[in-house]
Structure 1
Amino acid sequence: MTKAFRIIASTGLHKGDRDYQQDQVTLLSHRRFNGCLLGVVADGMGGRSGGRKASDQVMLTARQLFDRYSPETDDAAALLKHIVQEAHIVIRLTAISSEQEPHSTIAAFLINPRGDCHWVHAGDSRIYHFQGGRLVFRTSDHSYVQALVDRGEITEAEANIHPHSNILVGCLGTESDPPIDRHLIGQLQPGDVLMACSDGVWHYFSPSELASVLDSLTPREATEFLIDKARARARGGGDNLSLVIVKIEALADGARPSLPAPRSLKN
């Protein structure tokens, strides 16, 4: 980035109205490179323990590979692709024979110290990029209803209430290789907000609602608000919820850039 900045961040995790938690979320600051940050959301599927084991494996793989990453010499896009491929392989190898095979989505973004941001996702966990209270770009779900939307057969609003909205056409842990969709933000700017979240969050909000909330509240406040509002709108039938929010803020002249530890909210 050309100007001094700080990153304010928050994560949230709630089991919703489910009996057990299969989502996982993390936001990691690199221990050797100040300003290098990795956010990951994983929504596990496959029985009581199968889905949790799958999402846990995504987190473990992400931590291990990110720890070895150097923004000075390594390719960020290649790192994210490696995380997806490696987690997919391990999930396949550790499939639980007594349950439905474990699967997981992934939505991950990596911010380098120089200000470029790389994304990767597979499944229907999403990443959003907002700037100045408006949506700039978001990931496109690897799902049956997204394919219908893309073909113009249904609208985004109809997709949210479609009876097959939970059917994925690509994720980690299946027999087929997972889709690996990537995106690049060449230079983050003050006013940018990134949010990665599972479908238990985004299902209950329009893009304009999300933009308004993230523009007007701090990441911590937005995390609490979105979880509470999604829980209310679910009316007792809510899925697990997980999200990570990162906001880029400009600093006054003379202030030191900072990357504070993210604040988290878990229930």
Structure 2
Amino acid sequence: MSKAFRLTASTGIHKGDRDYQQDQVVVLSHPRHNGCVLAVVADGMGGRSGGRKASDQVMMTARQLFERYDPDSDDPAAVLRNMVQEAHIVIRLTAITAEQEPHSTVAAFLINPRGDCHWVHAGDSRIYHFSGGRLLQRTSDHSYVQALVDRGELTEAEALVHPHANILVGCLGTESDPPIAGHTIAQLQPGDVLLACSDGVWHYFSPSELASVLESLTPREATEFLIEKARARARGAGDNLSLVVVKIEALYDGKKDARLAAWGSAQTP
């Protein structure tokens, strides 16, 4: 970034109305490179143990690759692709002993100290990029209903209530290789907000609602509010929920180092 900035971040997770938690979420600050951050959401599927094993593998792989990542010499997009591919392979291997076939979505974004941002996703967990209270970009789900929307056969609103809304056409752990969709933001700016979340969150909000919440609240306040509101709108039938919010803010004290200034987690039983 041309200007000094700081990142504030928060994660939130809730099991919703399910008996067990298969989502996982993390935001990591690089151990050696100040201002380098990785955020990951994984929505596991495949029974009580299968889904959790799958999302566990996503998180473990992400941590390992990020710890070895060097923003000065490594290709961030390649690292994210490798993260998806390696997690997919390990999940396939664990399927041999799992009680049910494990699968997982992934939505991850990596912010470098110089201010560029790279993301990757597979499945229907999403990443949104907002600025100034408006949506600039979001991922496109690898799902049956998204394909119908893309062909003009369904509207976004109709897709939300379609009986096959939960059918994925690609994710990690399937027999075929996962789809790997990426995107690059050349330069983040103060006022930008990044949101990664599982479908248990985004299903209950329009992009304009998300933009308004993320513009007006701190990341910690936003994660708590969105979980609470999604729980209310689910009316007792809610999925697991997980999200991470990262907000880019200008520094006015003359400090030049990009840094992860503050973060927290909103975890509700």
> 1:30 Cα deviation (Å)?
0.3
Q: Which whole-Å CA distance do the structure 1 matches of 2:175 and 2:102 have between them?
A: 11
> 1:265 Cα deviation (Å)?
1.2
> 1:6 Cα deviation (Å)?
0.7
1:263 equivalent in structure 2: 264
1:36 equivalent in structure 2: 36
Q: Which whole-Å CA distance do the structure 2 matches of 1:184 and 1:42 have between them?
A: 20
Deviations 1:153-191 (A, max 9, x none): 010000000010000000000000000000000000000
> 1:251 Cα deviation (Å)?
1.1
CA RMSD in angstroms comes to 1.0
Q: Which whole-Å CA distance do the structure 2 matches of 1:195 and 1:204 have between them?
A: 15
> 1:100 Cα deviation (Å)?
2.7
Q: Which whole-Å CA distance do the structure 1 matches of 2:246 and 2:106 have between them?
A: 17
> 1:262 Cα deviation (Å)?
2.1
Q: Which whole-Å CA distance do the structure 2 matches of 1:164 and 1:65 have between them?
A: 35
Instruction: Mark the runs of 5 or more structure 1 residues left unpaired by the alignment.
Output: none
1:233 equivalent in structure 2: 233
Q: Which whole-Å CA distance do the structure 1 matches of 2:58 and 2:97 have between them?
A: 20
What is the DSSP-based 3-state SS (H/G/I as helix, E as strand, rest coil) of the residue aligned with 2:232?
Answer: helix
Q: Which whole-Å CA distance do the structure 2 matches of 1:50 and 1:253 have between them?
A: 49
Deviations 1:214-254 (A, max 9, x none): 00000000000000000000000000000000000011142
1:191 equivalent in structure 2: 191
What is the DSSP-based 3-state SS (H/G/I as helix, E as strand, rest coil) of the residue aligned with 2:52?
Answer: helix
1:137 equivalent in structure 2: 137
Paired residues of 1:15 and 1:241 also in contact (CA < 8 A): yes
Q: Does 1:94 align with 2:94?
A: yes
> 1:266 Cα deviation (Å)?
1.2
Paired residues of 2:9 and 2:247 also in contact (CA < 8 A): yes
Q: Which whole-Å CA distance do the structure 2 matches of 1:19 and 1:256 have between them?
A: 47
> 1:99 Cα deviation (Å)?
2.9
Q: Does 1:165 align with 2:165?
A: yes
> 1:259 Cα deviation (Å)?
1.3
Q: Which whole-Å CA distance do the structure 2 matches of 1:29 and 1:262 have between them?
A: 10
Q: TM-score, normalised by structure 1?
A: 0.98
Paired residues of 1:13 and 1:25 also in contact (CA < 8 A): yes
What is the DSSP-based 3-state SS (H/G/I as helix, E as strand, rest coil) of the residue aligned with 2:260?
Answer: coil
The number of aligned residues is: 267
Q: Flag the 1:98–1:196 CA change in 2: closer, same or farther, 3 A.
A: closer
Q: Which whole-Å CA distance do the structure 2 matches of 1:5 and 1:243 have between them?
A: 23
Q: Which whole-Å CA distance do the structure 2 matches of 1:110 and 1:98 have between them?
A: 31
Q: Which whole-Å CA distance do the structure 2 matches of 1:65 and 1:28 have between them?
A: 12
Paired residues of 1:96 and 1:102 also in contact (CA < 8 A): no
1:47 equivalent in structure 2: 47
Could you tell me the percent identity over the aligned residues?
81
Amino acid at match of 2:163: P
Paired residues of 2:49 and 2:98 also in contact (CA < 8 A): no
Paired residues of 1:194 and 1:245 also in contact (CA < 8 A): yes
Paired residues of 1:126 and 1:198 also in contact (CA < 8 A): yes
Q: Flag the 1:88–1:76 CA change in 2: closer, same or farther, 3 A.
A: same
What is the DSSP-based 3-state SS (H/G/I as helix, E as strand, rest coil) of the residue aligned with 1:264?
Answer: strand
2:219 equivalent in structure 1: 219
What is the DSSP-based 3-state SS (H/G/I as helix, E as strand, rest coil) of the residue aligned with 2:62?
Answer: helix
What is the DSSP-based 3-state SS (H/G/I as helix, E as strand, rest coil) of the residue aligned with 1:124?
Answer: coil
Q: Does 1:26 align with 2:5?
A: no
Instruction: Mark the runs of 5 or more structure 2 residues left unpaired by the alignment.
Output: none
Q: TM-score, normalised by structure 2?
A: 0.97
Paired residues of 1:50 and 1:96 also in contact (CA < 8 A): no
Q: Which whole-Å CA distance do the structure 1 matches of 2:66 and 2:255 have between them?
A: 29
Higher mean C-alpha deviation, range 73-82 or range 256-265: 256-265
Q: Which whole-Å CA distance do the structure 2 matches of 1:49 and 1:230 have between them?
A: 25
Q: Which whole-Å CA distance do the structure 2 matches of 1:112 and 1:251 have between them?
A: 17
What is the DSSP-based 3-state SS (H/G/I as helix, E as strand, rest coil) of the residue aligned with 1:260?
Answer: strand
Deviations 1:24-61 (A, max 9, x none): 00000000000000000000000010000000000000
Paired residues of 1:103 and 1:171 also in contact (CA < 8 A): yes
1:149 equivalent in structure 2: 149
